[in-house]
Amino acid sequence: MKAISHLILFCTTILLCTSCSKEGGPAPDQSRTGNLQLKFDHIVGGKKLQLGTGEYTNGDGELFTIDMLKYYISNIVLHDAAGGEYVVPQDESYYLVDASAVESQFVNIEVPEGDYTQLTFIIGVDSLRSTMPIDHRTGVLDPAGDHLSGGMYWSWNSGYIFFKMEGRSPAIDLTGDPTGQHRYRYHIGGFGGYDTPTVNNIKTIEIDLSRAGTANVRSGLSSNIHLFVDASKVFNGATTVSLAAHPTVMFGDYSQVIANNYQTMFAHDHTHNFETISGIHE
């Protein structure tokens, strides 16, 4: 009897230790796979993004709202400390994140077990995929997709819109928006041109996970990488962008300024490891 209670105590201790541990756990076995989740959490400076209703101020002192925010994430690669890398298969590596659609903000991918210290991805769609035959443009890349209500494809200048942000600002007058709605419209694309080089706004994002939490991917469990996406960086990045001066930015040279700015909007906040797969959203 005493032996059994000792055994129970021992087992409980082991279980408690295991569940407390954020590090450690069994060593990764690359022949097995586990779930990796990327969570895109939208903020504006120090505030949570409230789509359509929240009011914010940019670096130029202009008040603005964000009524629409969406962008492509693609070509996801994971790196471990030993220099190994896992490239998510190309056909499964395109996601459209939309601030108005909660499901789109959680990207779940099945990857080999590993302790990943770096995450890289592209904001936008690589030039190779942008020029592939129509059969290879399915899912979020289908030019007929409603792209979560709002086209992400330019038909007159074949290519995807990588990043779309729209909203309002009292700083925008009738010259800036002749419709009188005080709207700004940023539609950023440009994969570099098919046969003539032109604007290339394909941006690779590298995120160091080692500081705020290595992603420990294990079979049957989920490792959740929580990213903060700060939309204020669109105006307050390398260049301070004035909404009054640039209410509409689409296919033009200034799109490169916006793309350079939004390249800096991703930051790793923390990672939850060894999460159960159920209730995978939060």
Partner 1 sequence: MNRQQTGVRQVVVLCLVLACAMACNKAADVAPAWFGGFRKPANFPDPVYDLSANPVTKEGFELGRRLFHDPLLSRNNTISCASCHIQSSAFTHHGHDVSHGIDDRLGVRNAQPIMNLAWSRTFFWDGGVFHLDMLPVAPIENPVEMDETLANVLTKLRQHKQYPQLFEKAFGNSEITTANFLKALSQFMLMAVSSNSKYDKVMRGEAGVAFTGDEQAGYVLYQQHCAGCHVEPLFTDQSFRDNGLGPNPVDDRGRYEITLDNADRYRFKVPSLRNLRYTAPYMHDGRLLTLDAVIEHYRHEVRETLNLDPLLRHDGGLRGITLSETDKGQLLAFLETLNDAEFVTNPIFRNEN
Q: Is 198 near partner 1 (CB under 8 A)?
A: yes
User: 231 by DSSP, 3-state: which?
Assistant: helix
d(CA 204, CA 74): 9
- Closer of 146 and 282 to partner 1 (Cβ): 146
Within residues 176-195, the interface with partner 1 by CB under 8 A covers 193-195
Give the H/E segment covering residue 150.
none
- Closer of 199 and 212 to partner 1 (Cβ): 199
d(CA 200, CA 202): 6
- Pairing outcome for strands 221-230 and 33-44: parallel
Q: Is 156 near partner 1 (CB under 8 A)?
A: yes
d(CA 40, CA 119): 13
Q: Is 254 near partner 1 (CB under 8 A)?
A: no
Judged by CB under 8 A, the residue of 108, 131, 248, 260 near partner 1 is 131
For 242, other C-beta atoms within 10 Å of its C-beta total 16
Q: Of 39-47, 142-150, 225-233, 240-248, which segment contacts partner 1 by CB under 8 A?
A: 142-150
Q: Is 137 near partner 1 (CB under 8 A)?
A: yes
Q: Of 69-77, 87-95, 127-135, 212-220, which segment contacts partner 1 by CB under 8 A?
A: 127-135
Phi first, then psi, for residue 114 (nearest 5°) are 175, 165
Q: Is 3 near partner 1 (CB under 8 A)?
A: no
Q: Of 64-72, 81-89, 138-146, 265-273, which segment contacts partner 1 by CB under 8 A?
A: 138-146
- Closer of 197 and 279 to partner 1 (Cβ): 197
Judge residue 260's burial from the number of C-beta atoms within 10 Å of its C-beta, 0-12 exposed, 13-18 middle, 19 or more buried.
Answer: middle
